[in-house]
Structure 1
Amino acid sequence: MTTTVVTGLGVVAPNGMGHEEFWSASLGSRSGIGEITRFDASSYPARLAGQVADFDPRRHLPARLLPQTDLSTQFALTAADWALTDGGVDPSALVDYDMGVVTSSAFGGFEFTHREFAKLWSKGPEFVSVYESFAWFYAVHTGQVSIRHGLRGPSKALVAEQAGGLDAIGHARRTIVDGTPMVVTGGADSALDPWGWTALLAGGRVSPYGYRPFDREASGHVPGEGGVMLVLEDAEAARGRGAPQVYGEIAGHASTFDPPPGSPRPPGLRRAVELALADAGVAPDEVDVVFADAAGVPGLDRQEADVIRAVFGPGGVPVTAPKTLTGRLFSGGGPLDVVAALLAVRDGVVPPTADAVEVPSDYGIDLVRGEPRHVPVSTALVLARGKWGFNAAVVVRAYND
């Protein structure tokens, strides 16, 4: 049976450029959340966001790519470069049709499009960039990464809001099982311009006070931005090319959809958990940590806590949400948690959930707070839920050659 392993990591996050810097910040509770500085947000009811403050695309990408890409695509391209470098991959030395790309985006080229719309309305169509024809599109990350590195194998783009990044990883794994030796996968999003921010606030889940999931005072989430890419490979192919390291195995994946509002059927998150565990051949008592979706909305937090308690038993497994230090990165959020899960397996430590102070006792979950928890980690479950009913779960496992 094909085993899918992770051999390269690339992270552009609000609290870390590169996976090691992100991991150090997660263990040290160093936050990338602060007041928005990209535009004047003083008149908005919420002003906190996870911004990638020190990202200069000119340092990471060729000049010719800058006028044709949105900031989110620049995150994706940079993260893909770093993941390939980390994995010791030279695409020019491999068969191009043996390497695919599967990415997710919740917004596409949001800021790029809004800038071009402003030109259209204020100056006229002749001032709109020709690159708008593709820079806005949800599949643009997949296309640009594929073109830049000559990755011509099976490729896809998925859209499922916060759950999309996990679904991209799951589809990349299926692509490898179907015979493609290597896939670059992950997600990237940014919507921190005035129009994007207005759209996020209109969703009704953004907190003006901070991101405190599972806390008694939870009032919503803080949006963030960033890009995360991973190199997934068939284990035999990785061994054959001499991959410098294997971080772990993508052992299982499942996605489900919630029923329509008013339906007597339960939400789909529990089924996603159970299907992912079954796909991995893992029993609940073999899971060492759950990286929660952590919506930060009391009703949704309770719903997720109920699922974790039902599957694993009251306090049956450590639960964490390091995204409290970055905000919710939408399509990048699930892959960032997968990176954290892989590094937790590597180092035997669970990062804490920052800012969660008091968890209602009836939630019945063992939320890791305050300090990292040093425990052996061989299997982790990563959860993500997207608005409009998307649920996704990925099982990450230590790889034993």
Structure 2
Amino acid sequence: MSTATPEHSTAPGPAPSTTAPLVTGIGVAAPNGLGAKAWWDAVLRGESGIRPLTRFDASRYPVRLAGEVPGFVDEDHLTSRLLPQTDRVTRLSLAAAQEALDDAGTDPAALPDYSAGVVTASSAGGFEFGQRELQALWSKGGQHVSAYQSFAWFYAVNTGQISIRHGLRGSSGVVVCEQAGGLDAVAHARRQIRRGSRMMITGGVDSGLCPWGWAAHLAGGGLSTVDDPARAYLPFSAEATGHVVGEGGALFVLEDAASARARGADAYGTVAGYAATFDGPGTPRLADAARLALADAAVRPDEIDLVFADAAGERAADRAEAAALAEVFGAYGVPVTAPKSMTGRLLAGGASLDLAAALFAVRDQVIPPTTGTEHPADDCPLDLVTTTRTGVRLRHTLVLARGRGGFNSAAVVSAPPRRP
């Protein structure tokens, strides 16, 4: 179910914006790189972050691979006061939010009250924190359960902690729609900018790499049991056997275009179009989401230069996505890539990380590769990019995401408009 928390204030704000908001900052925590630059450099090298689990002993489980964020030292990013009250997912989120703000070169404290907010996506909240407190409950008793359990597990906790840390008292919320959430959160933030907010922190980060989380992933199905990290997750391949789970994601600073230009901010680009659909019984609607997003952006299919695929890594789901792309663009009609082949599927963080890749791709005029898959299956008629492509022209890119249960989301990422 997609949800949003009530707005923090009904105080009147500035007049609604009529121009597309700009992405001025990006923060990343990914299995193949901590920090946006480290991650993007690794992506262009085709460097995978999928490897055997280290966060717990997975030797007795049928699946033992995951995408873990490397080199994250909690104390480097959080104060000692915050450490006891936060789960790993919130710590990653706070770090990504700080990087995005630093990248944007903006200080939310300098903005008028209620003009900046937070919208994040989450699929599970603080799973590891919850597991730890359940262990304390059953092994020691209720008096040993942390008072912070009352909120540290909650899927809205990332929004709340980012808001508190940076004094963001404007419209805020959280969306819950699995893999599609990373796009849906940005779309919700985009609406808030158009309604008069000056700035929003938005995107998605997820983490559930603990025994309790692993039990949920296994129960959900679709995981590859292949032990070779290079062969476990093969989107659109005839040899696909499922996906690999990862942790991390990306957060963005989204700003009103006039405000960003007034302070001389550089922009990565715009989220020029967005749409969401929901599958009916036997009626997949991913193609409809793509078409509606293009219409929202006023972009024709022939103007899309690259698609970032959802890339489920399951044969039936891959065939369905390839069919949707052929329906919109024609067979082999547009380059398609899935850099999540290097990270695994990150739940709510996956689509936001693809959105970051789309923004960097447009900035650098380069197409990142899909790794593992050497060529797509015959029943997936795609121009799948398997090595980094340079010397390309990227004006508009399309990012697709599908969430468990029928959620479909699509976003058009475009180069920033020229300064007047």
TM-score of the superposition, structure 2-length normalised? 0.93
Instruction: Report deviation, 1:363.
Output: 1.7
- Whether 2:188 is the aligned partner of 1:171: answer yes
| Alignment equivalent of 2:279, drawn from 254, 258, 279 | 258
Q: Does structure 2 retain, via aligned residues, the 8 Å contact 1:188–1:226? A: yes
Instruction: Report deviation, 1:27.
Output: 0.6
- Whether 2:376 is the aligned partner of 1:359: answer yes
Paired AA for residue 150 in structure 2: S
Partner of 2:211: 194
In 2, Cα distance between the equivalents of 1:79 and 1:354? Answer: 25
In 2, Cα distance between the equivalents of 1:47 and 1:53? Answer: 17
Question: What is the 5 A alignment of 1:17-28?
Answer: 17-28=34-45
Aligned residues: 396
1:43-76 per-residue CA deviation (whole Å, 9 max, x = no partner) reads 1111110001211110111111111010001111
- Please state whether the residue corresponding to 1:254 is helix, strand or coil: strand
Stretches of structure 1 that go unaligned for 5 or more consecutive residues are: none
Paired AA for residue 349 in structure 1: V
Paired AA for residue 104 in structure 1: A
Q: Does structure 1 retain, via aligned residues, the 8 Å contact 2:33–2:70? A: no
1:162-183 per-residue CA deviation (whole Å, 9 max, x = no partner) reads 1011100111111111111110
Instruction: Report deviation, 1:362.
Output: 3.2
- Whether 2:75 is the aligned partner of 1:58: answer yes
Q: Does structure 1 retain, via aligned residues, the 8 Å contact 2:366–2:388? A: no
Partner of 1:228: 250
1:64-100 per-residue CA deviation (whole Å, 9 max, x = no partner) reads 1111010001111000000000000111211131101
Partner of 1:43: 60
Q: Does structure 1 retain, via aligned residues, the 8 Å contact 2:116–2:170? A: yes
Q: Does structure 1 retain, via aligned residues, the 8 Å contact 2:121–2:348? A: yes
Partner of 1:215: 237
Instruction: Report deviation, 1:371.
Output: 3.5
In 2, Cα distance between the equivalents of 1:56 and 1:268? Answer: 42
In 1, Cα distance between the equivalents of 2:38 and 2:242? Answer: 27
Instruction: Report deviation, 1:397.
Output: 0.2
Partner of 2:138: 121
CA RMSD of aligned residues (A): 1.0
1:244-286 per-residue CA deviation (whole Å, 9 max, x = no partner) reads x100011011111111xxx35x212111111111111111000
In 2, Cα distance between the equivalents of 1:101 and 1:371? Answer: 34
1:212-241 per-residue CA deviation (whole Å, 9 max, x = no partner) reads 000010011000001311000111010112
Paired AA for residue 413 in structure 2: V
In 2, Cα distance between the equivalents of 1:164 and 1:42? Answer: 31
In 2, Cα distance between the equivalents of 1:365 and 1:227? Answer: 26
In 2, Cα distance between the equivalents of 1:26 and 1:120? Answer: 42
Partner of 1:101: 118
Partner of 1:72: 89
Paired AA for residue 241 in structure 1: R
Partner of 1:134: 151
TM-score of the superposition, structure 1-length normalised? 0.97
In 2, Cα distance between the equivalents of 1:22 and 1:341? Answer: 13
In 2, Cα distance between the equivalents of 1:370 and 1:8? Answer: 27
| Alignment equivalent of 1:241, drawn from 245, 260, 263 | 263
- Please state whether the residue corresponding to 1:392 is helix, strand or coil: strand
- Whether 2:325 is the aligned partner of 1:308: answer yes
In 2, Cα distance between the equivalents of 1:348 and 1:312? Answer: 21
Partner of 2:127: 110
Instruction: Report deviation, 1:373.
Output: 4.4
Instruction: Report deviation, 1:151.
Output: 0.5
Identical aligned residues as a percent = 58
Comparing 189-198 with 372-381, greater Cα deviation is found at 372-381
Q: Does structure 2 retain, via aligned residues, the 8 Å contact 1:72–1:227? A: no
Paired AA for residue 328 in structure 1: R
In 2, Cα distance between the equivalents of 1:360 and 1:91? Answer: 48
In 1, Cα distance between the equivalents of 2:56 and 2:34? Answer: 22
Instruction: Report deviation, 1:191.
Output: 0.8
- Please state whether the residue corresponding to 1:10 is helix, strand or coil: strand
In 2, Cα distance between the equivalents of 1:18 and 1:195? Answer: 27
- Whether 2:101 is the aligned partner of 1:84: answer yes
Instruction: Report deviation, 1:295.
Output: 0.3
In 1, Cα distance between the equivalents of 2:375 and 2:263? Answer: 49
| Alignment equivalent of 1:326, drawn from 343, 347, 353 | 343
In 1, Cα distance between the equivalents of 2:40 and 2:122? Answer: 23
In 2, Cα distance between the equivalents of 1:389 and 1:277? Answer: 20
- Please state whether the residue corresponding to 1:288 is helix, strand or coil: strand
Q: Does structure 2 retain, via aligned residues, the 8 Å contact 1:99–1:154? A: yes
Comparing 139-148 with 200-209, greater Cα deviation is found at 200-209
Instruction: Report deviation, 1:306.
Output: 0.2
- Please state whether the residue corresponding to 2:394 is helix, strand or coil: coil
In 2, Cα distance between the equivalents of 1:190 and 1:97? Answer: 30
- Whether 2:163 is the aligned partner of 1:146: answer yes
